[in-house]
């Protein structure tokens, strides 16, 4: 399937609703454990299964986490807000309503600047972030061709992040979703695991003729469960709508289901409007009033966020965009990089290459954080600095790195014990070069006749003669000096 709009006369307009489960210890309105993957219906109580007379109490952490996300997305935080009932019937919802927020969300009027693949930055408006509770989960059982329900997820806290319809392509949607996901991880407020359903996404798509001001009629696709599925769903849906319009048809506002296996969207029902949910203030819960100094305190606690960090790496440290993205994607890698930069003394690009190369390989191979080994930023900087100064070769640096993983010896001690110091004494190297050149007249002539790889051979001979300890840059320099005399 084509990965973009088939008809250039049209523009895609996308708005996204991201639901993120918060990783609080307990659920939103009761003291049941908020944990994924436990035995079915083992984390339930009269409150989250809506037994008559059970009363909810709001978990303060839910408000705290949502406000943090609000700050991260540059929102206005409403310090006085409330919760509302959203009424609908579904077998996974024992109350027959969901506690959500209707007219006064906790956070609103924000934005997020996302970095696109081509290096351009795009500002996407954030309409609102509100708190709500998750529903249970239906389990469809083939054995008796019926459905069972697991209420462990009932009342797990969620934030819903609603974007403005500012997204213009599936690529922009992906950049936005990836940035939201990494911010959730940096704030440590959600596991942000799509495969466990802790982030889910509803996609609103419409199309309009270019230069047309009004938006077209939108269709919503529910619970798209991966970012690549969201991209495919957007492209498919946009092309479907264009085809309908081009054939003289009309787009109906409706909710569609994205079938990622078949790569198509299927109409489910005509889209509900807010009035269909008969929202009204939740009578069992009081007004939420958040102290303004507490809101400020939460703002002060926000760490440097991944998209801001990535821009800093690119603009201030000259790291290529792809590398910067790989560094910030992993909290340990970016922490190690920042620590190395704070120590200073070696090039940012070299540190980045080491972290994305050898350090990442070790983390993958051992399946643990680099902080669970004996490697420290100080030791890594020391190795890189020795290589940059020509005191040890790159391969000797790798030997030292291997050694410090499991040993607490100092870098200098390992270099000494293993005899890894390079010969950078030009007098010693000069003698080696002279010996090599006197034995390799043919290679000298080859080089003079334009065979440039003969130079590499000669440097290689010097390395061999010095048992790998000659500084290759110095050897090369001296070889050229003699050949060109």
Contacts to Zn ion by CB under 5 A? 30, 32, 45, 47-48
Of residues 47 and 298, the one with the C-beta less far from Zn ion: 47
What is the closest distance, in whole angstroms, from the C-beta atom of residue 152 to Zn ion in the complex?
Answer: 9
Q: Strand, helix or coil at 471? A: coil
Nearest-angstrom CA–CA distance, 145 and 162: 36
3-state helix, strand, coil in the chain (%, to 5): 40, 20, 35
Of residues 47 and 159, the one with the C-beta less far from Zn ion: 47
Judge contact between 176 and 167, C-beta under 8 A: yes
What is the closest distance, in whole angstroms, from the C-beta atom of residue 69 to Zn ion in the complex?
Answer: 24
What is the closest distance, in whole angstroms, from the C-beta atom of residue 77 to Zn ion in the complex?
Answer: 28
- State the DSSP string of 150-170: E-TTTT-EEEEEEE-S-B-SH
Query: How many C-alpha atoms does 441 have within 13 Å on its Cβ side?
Result: 1
E strands, 73-133, are 76-77, 80-81, 84-87, 97-100, 107-115, 121-133
Judge contact between 380 and 335, C-beta under 8 A: no
Judge contact between 381 and 410, C-beta under 8 A: no
Of residues 66 and 156, the one with the C-beta less far from Zn ion: 156
What is the closest distance, in whole angstroms, from the C-beta atom of residue 196 to Zn ion in the complex?
Answer: 20
Nearest-angstrom CA–CA distance, 221 and 448: 68
In angstroms, the Cα distances linking 42 to 52, 59, 139, 149 are 20, 20, 15, 12
What is the closest distance, in whole angstroms, from the C-beta atom of residue 126 to Zn ion in the complex?
Answer: 31
Of residues 131 and 184, the one with the C-beta less far from Zn ion: 131
Nearest-angstrom CA–CA distance, 142 and 82: 42
What is the closest distance, in whole angstroms, from the C-beta atom of residue 181 to Zn ion in the complex?
Answer: 28
Exposure of 118 by Cβ count < 10 A (0-12 exposed, 13-18 middle, 19+ buried)?
exposed
Of residues 48 and 199, the one with the C-beta less far from Zn ion: 48
Judge contact between 349 and 319, C-beta under 8 A: yes
What is the closest distance, in whole angstroms, from the C-beta atom of residue 70 to Zn ion in the complex?
Answer: 26
- State the DSSP string of 318-334: ---HHHHHHHHHSHHHH
| Cα 400 from chain centre | 32
Query: How many C-alpha atoms does 114 have within 13 Å on its Cβ side?
Result: 23
Of residues 26 and 265, the one with the C-beta less far from Zn ion: 26
What is the closest distance, in whole angstroms, from the C-beta atom of residue 22 to Zn ion in the complex?
Answer: 15
Furthest CA-CA distance within the chain: 98
Nearest-angstrom CA–CA distance, 328 and 186: 10
Of residues 136 and 216, the one with the C-beta less far from Zn ion: 136
What is the closest distance, in whole angstroms, from the C-beta atom of residue 218 to Zn ion in the complex?
Answer: 36
What is the closest distance, in whole angstroms, from the C-beta atom of residue 131 to Zn ion in the complex?
Answer: 17
| Cα 434 from chain centre | 55
User: For residue 445, what are its two tokens?
Assistant: 């002539």
Terminal alpha carbon distance of the chain: 63
Of residues 25 and 266, the one with the C-beta less far from Zn ion: 25
What is the closest distance, in whole angstroms, from the C-beta atom of residue 44 to Zn ion in the complex?
Answer: 6
Of residues 156 and 340, the one with the C-beta less far from Zn ion: 156
Of residues 47 and 229, the one with the C-beta less far from Zn ion: 47
Of residues 26 and 163, the one with the C-beta less far from Zn ion: 26
What is the closest distance, in whole angstroms, from the C-beta atom of residue 154 to Zn ion in the complex?
Answer: 7
Of residues 48 and 459, the one with the C-beta less far from Zn ion: 48
Phi, psi of 188 (to 5 degrees): 55, 45
Q: Strand, helix or coil at 99? A: strand
């Amino acid at each position: 399937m084509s990965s973009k709009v088939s008809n250039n006369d049209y523009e895609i307009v996308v708005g996204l609703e991201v639901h993120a489960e918060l990783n609080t210890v307990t659920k939103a309105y009761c003291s049941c454990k908020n944990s994924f993957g436990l035995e079915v219906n083992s984390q339930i109580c009269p409150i989250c299964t809506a037994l008559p007379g059970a009363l909810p109490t709001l978990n303060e952490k839910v408000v705290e986490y949502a406000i943090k996300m609000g700050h991260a997305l540059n929102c206005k935080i409403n310090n006085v807000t409330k919760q509302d009932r959203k009424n609908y019937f579904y077998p996974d919802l024992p109350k027959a309503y969901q506690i959500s927020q209707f007219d006064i969300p906790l956070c609103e009027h924000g934005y997020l600047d996302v970095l696109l693949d081509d290096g351009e930055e795009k500002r996407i408006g954030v309409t609102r972030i509100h708190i709500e509770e998750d529903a249970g989960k239906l389990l469809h059982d083939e054995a008796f061709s019926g459905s069972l329900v697991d209420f462990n997820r009932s009342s797990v806290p969620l934030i819903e992040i609603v974007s403005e319809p500012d997204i213009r392509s599936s690529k922009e949607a992906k950049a936005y979703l990836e940035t939201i996901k990494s911010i959730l991880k940096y704030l440590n407020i959600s596991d942000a695991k799509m495969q466990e359903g802790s982030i889910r996404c509803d996609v609103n798509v419409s199309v309009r003729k270019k230069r047309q001001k009004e938006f077209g009629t939108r269709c919503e696709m529910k619970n798209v469960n991966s970012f690549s599925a969201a991209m495919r769903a957007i492209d498919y849906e946009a092309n479907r709508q264009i085809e309908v319009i081009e054939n003289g048809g009309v787009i109906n506002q409706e909710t569609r289901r994205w079938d990622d296996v078949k790569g198509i969207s299927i109409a489910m029902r005509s889209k509900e409007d807010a009035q269909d949910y008969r929202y009204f203030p939740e009578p069992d819960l009081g007004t939420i009033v958040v102290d303004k100094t507490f809101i400020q305190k939460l703002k002060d606690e926000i760490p440097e966020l991944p998209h801001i960090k990535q821009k800093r790496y690119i603009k201030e440290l000259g790291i290529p965009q792809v590398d910067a993205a790989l560094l910030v994607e992993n909290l340990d890698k970016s922490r190690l990089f920042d620590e190395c930069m704070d120590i200073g003394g070696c090039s940012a690009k070299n540190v980045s290459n080491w972290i994305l190369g050898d350090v990442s390989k070790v983390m993958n191979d051992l399946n643990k954080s680099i902080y669970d080994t004996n490697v420290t930023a100080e030791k890594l900087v020391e190795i890189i600095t020795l290589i940059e100064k020509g005191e040890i070769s790159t391969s000797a640096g790798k030997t030292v790195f291997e050694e410090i993983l499991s040993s607490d010896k100092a870098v200098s001690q390992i270099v000494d014990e293993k005899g890894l110091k390079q010969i950078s004494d030009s007098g010693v190297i000069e003698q080696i070069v002279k010996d090599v050149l006197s034995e390799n007249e043919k290679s000298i002539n080859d080089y003079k006749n334009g065979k440039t790889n003969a130079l590499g051979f000669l440097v290689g001979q010097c390395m061999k003669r010095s048992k790998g300890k000659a500084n290759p840059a110095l050897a090369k320099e001296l070889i050229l000096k003699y050949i060109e005399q």
